[in-house]
Amino acid sequence: MTKTATRGMTRRQLLTRASAVGAGFVAGSGFIAAPDAAWAYETGSIEPAAFATLVQMARDIYPHDRIPDENYVLAVKGYDTPEAAPAIMAGIAALDAAAQGRGFASYIETGWERDRVDILRAMEDSAFFQQIRGGLVTGLYNQKAVWPIFGYEGESYSLGGYIDRGFNDINWL
Amino acid sequence: MAAPFDMDDDSVVVIIGTGAGGGVLANELAQKGVSVVALEAGGRYLPEDYINDEWESFGQLAWTDPRTTSGDWRVAKDFSGLPAWIVKAVGGTTTHWAGASLRFQEHEWKPRTTYGAVQGANLLDWPIDAAEMEPWYALAETKLGVTRTEGRPGLPGNNNYLVFEKGAKALGYTEVHTGRMAINSQDYDDRMACQQTGFCFQGCKWGAKWSSAYTDIPRGEATGNLEVRERSHVARILHDDSGKATGVEYYDADGTLQMQKARIVCVAGNSFESPRLLLNSASSMFPDGLANSSGQVGRNYMRHMTGSVYATFDKPVRMWRGTTMAGIIQDEARHDPSRGFVGGYEMETLSLGIPFMAAFLDPGGWGREFTTALDAYENMAGMWLVGEDMPQETNRVTLNHDITDQHGLPVANVHFDDHPNDRAMRAHAYKQGIAIYEAVGATRTFPTPPYPSTHNLGTNRMSENPRDGVVNRWGQTHDVPNLFVSDGSQFTSGAAENPTLTIVALAIRQADHIAGEMSKQNI
């Protein structure tokens, strides 16, 4: 789960503040970070809370439980520019409003994926949803770092192809 | 006179495009001593340049100039600006093609006679037949080094093939093998054998797959009779007051408009760009476009009935390893109307990497139904379905005057509606494809919709009667005697087979005809 945090926070502080709001996110001064501080991303034009919501939305659209948040952050950080940010923040505001319309405090504080997906389904024809979904197709799946999670080996030319490395090694037929 | 040729040299044959049609025609003419200027819109990339990364390679090779789409085909919704996945480079789509090299079946040259009148279809028999094409197919198979022809052995089957073969045999299919492929199973014609690397669609880095980019083109250039001008986009074909073609105007690599004179012009820009060029060449003498007295330029666009079936299993397959399309089932390629449709289809192994699988498995799909399929990617097998689709007059390439390309030229709009016969065939093919994988224990199957087209056919079709089509039995336009069409757009019908071998055979035959007519001073 992505956490927002203040620059310079210790890992303990981060965890403390995170636990203080349960599964929610903590808005800091421009930082979101993994709870174990394994990675951090300083937001630019998108407010940290909105960026954290965007990351959660990305995971809800293409949920892969073995892909860490870091790759979802990388997949959407291209929107964190002065040109793109206003539309993204407007889209996130609409997402939060839709969550509130269903009795939740915000999108990110909607606890069950099923409920968040219901919110997304209701807006899947919107330009905002399609922009985020379409961008993820390349933004997420074209990251070489996620390929091994799927077992995909990428190029093999540099290794001489598979002629001596298992092109026909299936053993269960 | 040897290459390079002067812009005012009106003795040259100008060929537009350097793929399976234009690239082969250019070399064949050059070998016969004919002076050729080949104008290619794309740049030159060779095996050392190819990139084994799906999106990066797409950025390097694909034709991504603007095009628009309309019609009820799903491509118009999912990939509205990308009706085709074809290549803009020296060698054209022979860099990208999978290598499947099949002859038409005898009856497929005569679809109107064989299938009868099909409502809504604009079926027409070809003015040529299997017997006439036999020697040209043989020459094409020799040129490409097609496996399982002339004693060349087949490729070994990869993991994806072994799953496919086992399922096919369980269903009782008998015509099942690793294909007739223009990919070397042993060293041949200065090209090495396949190393089972995958990435056949991204250009073969070993050169084991035939491509005109590194065979016909350099061999033609070596004669001194062929000059290839790359990054040269033809804008218009010019003609004189007698209605004969006199040359072409093209934008060179710097975007400067140039004019090359010509004795003969051959159009081989594929089934979108070739009709687009004829339509963009309209003049006061030919107000509806060049060679368009029949009104058939751009019409009868065919893309094959296509689709894919992927399936996941409880154990790994690793389908991406090895030759992408070395696997075929031909039992359903026959014409058997008892199945509820005319014509037939082939089933061929296919795999995509994770980046393209995410884009093409279920375009627009999201959520866990989609992502759990990708989570099982390592355990996935896949096949492509490719069959004969019906020519329809309303499926057509037209000029979209609202959108222009980087040179200010109106772009092609591609309109396509599936014919009921296409839909019936696809439903049958999905059912059979799913049954094949279920016979091997598939845990889940995915009847995947068509990708942007790779087989683009029929928009300048061949006809006996000038009223019915654009070109005659030699690919020569009915209206302009020194203007030829040399690519898949001259196809009268699509047949079930991957079209490249037929395009190559027609190009070899056309070169023989053109050289003969030139020496007789008939053109």
Task: Count the neighbouring beta carbons within 10 Å of the beta carbon of residue A59.
Answer: 23
Tokens 């979101």 belong to residue: A32
State whether residue A155 is helix, strand or coil: coil
CA B174 to chain A, closest CA, distance in angstroms equals: 19
pLDDT at B1: 59
Judged by CB atoms closer than 8 Å, whether chains meet at B354 and A147 is answered as yes
- DSSP code at position B192: P
Write the DSSP string, B122-174.
-----SS-HHHHHHHHHHHHHHHT-TTSTTPPPPPP-HHHHHHHHHHHHTT--
For B233, residues 6+ apart whose C-beta sits below 8 A from its C-beta are B39, B41, B250, B251, B407
The DSSP H or E segment spanning A96 is helix A85-101
Long-range contacts of B228-232 (CB under 8 A, 24+ apart): B228/B18, B228/B26, B228/B38, B228/B40, B228/B44, B228/B90, B229/B37, B229/B38, B229/B39, B229/B40, B230/B40, B230/B42, B230/B43, B230/B44, B230/B90, B231/B40, B231/B41, B231/B42, B231/B43, B232/B39, B232/B40, B232/B41, B232/B258
Of A62, A124, A152, the CB nearest to B377: A152
State whether residue B190 is helix, strand or coil: coil
CB B436 within 8 A of CB B299: no
Regions in chain A scoring below 70 on pLDDT: 1-31, 34-39
Residue B261: what are its φ and ψ, rounded to 5°?
Answer: -75, 160
Rg from Cα positions in chain B:
22
Distances (CA, A) of B513 to A47, B483, B492: 69, 13, 19
Of A151, A156, A168, the CB nearest to B197: A156
Chain B residues close to A151, C-beta within 8 Å: 316, 318, 377-378
Chain A residues close to B52, C-beta within 8 Å: 154-157
Tokens 């064989």 belong to residue: B114
Q: Measuring CA to CA, which residue among A70, A31, A71, A56 is closest to residue A110?
A: A56
For B271, residues 6+ apart whose C-beta sits below 8 A from its C-beta are B301, B397, B456, B457, B458, B459, B460, B487, B488, B489
The first and second tokens of residue B46, run together, are 């060779």
Rounded Cα–Cα distance for residues B301 and B273 (Å): 12
Regions in chain B scoring below 70 on pLDDT: 1
CA B340 to chain A, closest CA, distance in angstroms equals: 33
Judged by CB atoms closer than 8 Å, whether chains meet at A163 and B157 is answered as no
pLDDT (tens digit, 9 = 90+) per residue, B430-458?
A: 999 999 999 999 999 999 999 999 999 99
Instruction: Pick the residue from chain B with its C-alpha nearest to A67.
Output: B375
The DSSP H or E segment spanning A33 is strand A31-33
Task: Count the neighbouring beta carbons within 10 Å of the beta carbon of residue A136.
Answer: 21
In total, chain B counts a number of residues equal to 523
CA A92 to chain B, closest CA, distance in angstroms equals: 19
Of A63, A66, A160, the CB nearest to B368: A63
CA B503 to chain A, closest CA, distance in angstroms equals: 30
Measured CB to CB, residues of chain B less than 8 Å from chain A are 52-55, 156-159, 162-163, 166, 194-199, 205-206, 315-318, 320-322, 353-355, 357-359, 364, 366-368, 370-371, 374-375, 377-378, 440
Share of chain A above pLDDT 70, in %: 77
Direct distance between the N- and C-terminal alpha carbons of chain A, in angstroms, rounded to an integer? 40
CA A148 to chain B, closest CA, distance in angstroms equals: 10
Write the DSSP string, B362-397.
STT--SHHHHHHHHTGGGEEEEEEEE-----TTSEE
Of A133, A153, A168, the CB nearest to B366: A133
CB B45 within 8 A of CB B202: no
Q: Are strands B36-39 and B13-16 parallel, antiparallel or unpaired?
A: parallel
The first and second tokens of residue A19, run together, are 């636990």
Chain B residues close to A146, C-beta within 8 Å: 354
Instruction: Pick the residue from chain B with its C-alpha nearest to A147.
Output: B354
Sheet containing strand B264-267, strands side by side: B226-229, B36-39, B13-16, B264-267, B483-485
Rounded-to-10 torsion of CA B192, B196, B202, B207: 0
Judged by CB atoms closer than 8 Å, whether chains meet at A168 and B366 is answered as no
**Helices assigned H by DSSP within B42-149:** 54-61, 75-78, 111-115, 130-144
Picking from A118, A140, A150 by the largest number of B CB atoms within 10 A of its own CB, the best residue to mutate is A150
The first and second tokens of residue A26, run together, are 């903590």
CB B89 within 8 A of CB B95: yes
State whether residue B81 is helix, strand or coil: coil
In total, chain A counts a number of residues equal to 173
Task: Count the neighbouring beta carbons within 10 Å of the beta carbon of residue A164.
Answer: 10
Picking from A130, A142, A165 by the largest number of B CB atoms within 10 A of its own CB, the best residue to mutate is A142
Judged by CB atoms closer than 8 Å, whether chains meet at A140 and B55 is answered as no
Q: Measuring CA to CA, which residue among B445, B371, B88 is closest to residue B233?
A: B88
Q: Which amino acid is at B439?
A: A
Chain A residues close to B197, C-beta within 8 Å: 156-157, 161-163
Of A137, A152, A168, the CB nearest to B158: A168
Instruction: Pick the residue from chain A with its C-alpha nearest to B52.
Output: A155
Picking from A141, A143, A169 by the largest number of B CB atoms within 10 A of its own CB, the best residue to mutate is A141
CA A87 to chain B, closest CA, distance in angstroms equals: 21
pLDDT at A40: 76
pLDDT at A101: 98
Rounded Cα–Cα distance for residues B402 and B410 (Å): 7
Judged by CB atoms closer than 8 Å, whether chains meet at A138 and B55 is answered as yes
Judged by CB atoms closer than 8 Å, whether chains meet at A156 and B355 is answered as no
pLDDT at A29: 53
Judged by CB atoms closer than 8 Å, whether chains meet at A168 and B159 is answered as yes
Judged by CB atoms closer than 8 Å, whether chains meet at B377 and A117 is answered as no
Rounded Cα–Cα distance for residues B203 and B209 (Å): 8
The DSSP H or E segment spanning B428 is helix B420-438
pLDDT (tens digit, 9 = 90+) per residue, A27-37?
A: 345 667 766 65
Residue B172: what are its φ and ψ, rounded to 5°?
Answer: 90, 10
Instruction: Pick the residue from chain B with its C-alpha nearest to A172.
Output: B315
Rounded Cα–Cα distance for residues B434 and A107 (Å): 39
Q: Measuring CA to CA, which residue among B417, B459, B390, B387 is closest to residue B76?
A: B417
Judged by CB atoms closer than 8 Å, whether chains meet at B53 and A155 is answered as yes
Instruction: Pick the residue from chain A with its C-alpha nearest to B155.
Output: A163
Rounded Cα–Cα distance for residues B237 and B265 (Å): 8
Of B54, B159, B198, the CB nearest to A170: B159
- Burial pattern B417-427, b for ≥16 Cβ within 10 A else e, equals ebbebbebbbe
- Assign residue B483 a region (left: φ > 0; alpha: ψ between -120 and 50; beta: otherwise): beta
Of B163, B317, B320, the CB nearest to A152: B320
CA B438 to chain A, closest CA, distance in angstroms equals: 13
Q: Measuring CA to CA, which residue among B350, B355, B425 is closest to residue B163?
A: B350
CB-side neighbour CA atoms (13 Å) of A31: 15
